[in-house]
Amino acid sequence: MTLEQEINKRRTFGIIAHPDAGKTTLTEKLLLFGGAIQTAGAVKSNKIDVSTRSDWMDIEKQRGISVATSVMGFEYKDLKINILDTPGHQDFAEDTYRTLTAVDSVIMVIDCVKGVEQQTEKLMEVCRMRNTPVLCFINKLDREGRDAFDLLDEIEEKLDIKVRPMSWPIGMGKSLRGVFNIYENNLNLYEPNKTKKVTDVVEIKGVDDPKLDQHLPESMTKELREEIELVNGVYDPFNKEDYLSGKVAPVFFGSAVNNFGVRELLDCFIQIAPPPKARENELRLVTPDEKKFTGFIFKIHANMDPKHRNRIAFARICSGKFERGNNYYHVRQDKPFRFSNATAFMAQQKETVDEAFPGDIVGLYDTGNLKIGDTLTEGEKALYKGIPFFSPELFREVINLDAMKSKQLEKGLDQLMDEGVAQLFTYEMGARKVVGTVGALQFEVLQHRLLNEYKASARFEAVNIYKACWISAKEQSKLDAFVKDKYRHIARDKEGKLVFMAESKAWLQRVQDNFPDIEFHFISEF
């Protein structure tokens, strides 16, 4: 197969949702359709086993929270589909943001009872930053959910994206009878089915087909016909370009746990979802069909094997062909590296991979040379752009509890920050170290891992910080003057970039007013 054929075969996407909306269930059903697993029930009953394989940290197992972002690949109708799962817990949202930099599109799961939840809004913002195409799956139709039109209005309003229904529910909850597939113009009759594939699709040609009346009671056919007419009147016809540019989200309805509406979603997805796209590095736009390999690291997992302190770096391939055993150029370290132990992800298994193509994710075993945002090439000295760090929400000072182990603490913090567990800010004055996170749980993860993996005991003490702002100015002298003036509040991030640690919103506002030449950024990349 040519490189171009390999690229066109691939669809790499992420599933995002508010916890409990049904992301894991949907992922399982997609794998089931892809034949990557035999029965969905089997995977469910294996939940602990699955988490052992994908969530490598003890603490996650103890808490039963899927912190890890795992990758699952499968083949479906001649396409190679890569699903990047994202952590459900909101404290690990940073992880999800970074995963979204490695996908070409997104499926967003929304619970029809709860509607659009807050976390979904934030995730959508991240998709919008990169114009990532989004497809919505409104789940749990077997429950008494909200009116379909209301849900669509809410998506448009809260997520600030236009929608286009591609399927339509016939009833809901106890009265759910099926889904009319607007895209394919056929009818899928409802049959709760947790373990088998649903093949009970009745072929009908549009809502006016008299066959519809044979399968549904009169009141339902009447309502369905009226609703479909309304849908076609209210929403613009589906336009693939608008979907691909992130302007319109096609919407599907279904019930993942009952394996219902999932095939419609998947079959449409493979027709409309984008193959790997071109990506910008510091110098230029790199197209996937370029002969030379390039890729970047978006995620690092540590200690899958407690006996060895090894890490696995997840690399998204952007162009060319990755070949195991080849030397690749590590741009940040300006050194060649050989990855003889690359891993691919198929369904729940990891297997050694000899070659991989744009859109694929490979796992690279690493002993501490790679970190998030690193770029690998065949010689080009340019980093990929767009793996930003956001200003954390919570800040705590690191207090070393064992003076004999300060080296271990330093090393532990350094490596855990490379993995993106949290962000470290070191004050210019006194070298105070402050860790920033999105949620409180990350401090517990840090403390646990520092102790267990690095034998360093530390405490995290609350500090009064509202935001970390990366600062810049057109004139270096202005920046120098600001740093001098606000010396006590200036820190450096792990890359050595200058950061202003603002204590409150009001104070930040005052400082911004007083120093109009200084630019304050809430994202590390500006």
The smaller minimum CB distance to ligand G4P, of residues 175 and 333, is found at 175
Q: Show contacts with ligand G4P in window 277-306 (CB under 6 A).
A: none
Check binding of 154 to ligand G4P (CB under 6 A). Answer: no
CB of 261 vs ligand G4P, minimal distance in Å = 9
Helical (H) or strand (E) element with 189: strand 186-189
At 435 the three-state DSSP class reads strand
CB of 271 vs ligand G4P, minimal distance in Å = 24
The smaller minimum CB distance to ligand G4P, of residues 57 and 172, is found at 172
CB of 141 vs ligand G4P, minimal distance in Å = 7
From CA 273, how far away is CA 183, in angstroms rounded? 14
Q: Show contacts with ligand G4P in window 42-61 (CB under 6 A).
A: 44
Q: Show contacts with ligand G4P in window 123-142 (CB under 6 A).
A: 139-140, 142
| DSSP 8-state symbol, 260 | B
CB of 259 vs ligand G4P, minimal distance in Å = 9
The smaller minimum CB distance to ligand G4P, of residues 27 and 423, is found at 27
Q: Show contacts with ligand G4P in window 342-401 (CB under 6 A).
A: none
Q: Quickly list H helices, 89-247.
A: 93-100, 118-129, 148-159, 211-215, 218-234, 240-244
**Binder among 136, 257, 268, 469 for ligand G4P (CB under 6 A):** 257
CB of 105 vs ligand G4P, minimal distance in Å = 18
Check binding of 171 to ligand G4P (CB under 6 A). Answer: no
**Binder among 70, 119, 132, 255 for ligand G4P (CB under 6 A):** 255
The smaller minimum CB distance to ligand G4P, of residues 41 and 274, is found at 41
Q: Check if the beta carbon of residue 479 is closer than 8 Å to that of residue 410.
A: no
Name residues whose C-beta falls within 8 Å of residue 342's C-beta, 6 or more positions apart in sequence.
Answer: 322, 324, 352, 353, 356, 362, 363, 364, 365
Q: Show contacts with ligand G4P in window 3-32 (CB under 6 A).
A: 17, 19-25
Tokens of 455: 């034998």
Check binding of 40 to ligand G4P (CB under 6 A). Answer: no
Number of residues in contact with ligand G4P, rule: CB under 6 A? 18
Contact window for ligand G4P (CB under 6 A) among 190-198, 256-264, 275-283, 331-339: 256-264
Check binding of 63 to ligand G4P (CB under 6 A). Answer: no
Instruction: Residue 215: count other Cβ atoms within 10 Å of its Cβ.
Output: 15
Q: Of 274, 286, 270, 265, give the one whose Cα is nearest residue 242.
A: 274
The smaller minimum CB distance to ligand G4P, of residues 114 and 521, is found at 114
From CA 197, how far away is CA 259, in angstroms rounded? 7
The smaller minimum CB distance to ligand G4P, of residues 16 and 450, is found at 16
The smaller minimum CB distance to ligand G4P, of residues 21 and 441, is found at 21
Check binding of 256 to ligand G4P (CB under 6 A). Answer: yes
How far, CA to CA in Å, does 130 sit from each of 98, 244, 375, 405, 435? 12, 11, 19, 43, 28
For residue 477, which phi and psi values (nearest 5 degrees)?
Answer: -65, -35
CB of 188 vs ligand G4P, minimal distance in Å = 14
From CA 416, how far away is CA 438, in angstroms rounded? 15
The smaller minimum CB distance to ligand G4P, of residues 24 and 294, is found at 24
Instruction: Residue 240: count other Cβ atoms within 10 Å of its Cβ.
Output: 13
Residue 283: burial class (beta carbons within 10 Å; 0-12, 13-18, 19+) = exposed
**Binder among 9, 143, 330, 448 for ligand G4P (CB under 6 A):** 143
Each residue 80-119 as x (binds ligand G4P by CB under 6 A) or -, in order, gives --------x-------------------------------
Q: Check if the beta carbon of residue 156 is closer than 8 Å to that of residue 163.
A: yes
Q: Of 477, 475, 474, 442, give the one whose Cα is nearest residue 460.
A: 442
Q: Show contacts with ligand G4P in window 409-468 (CB under 6 A).
A: none
Contact window for ligand G4P (CB under 6 A) among 159-167, 238-246, 253-261, 358-366: 253-261
Helical (H) or strand (E) element with 343: strand 343-346
From CA 97, how far away is CA 91, in angstroms rounded? 12
Q: Check if the beta carbon of residue 523 is closer than 8 Å to that of residue 390.
A: yes
CB of 257 vs ligand G4P, minimal distance in Å = 3
Tokens of 423: 């962000």
Name residues whose C-beta falls within 8 Å of residue 441's C-beta, 6 or more positions apart in sequence.
Answer: 63, 65, 89, 91, 92
Check binding of 503 to ligand G4P (CB under 6 A). Answer: no
CB of 335 vs ligand G4P, minimal distance in Å = 40
In the complex, the residues that contact ligand G4P under the rule CB under 6 A are 17, 19-25, 44, 88, 139-140, 142-143, 255-258
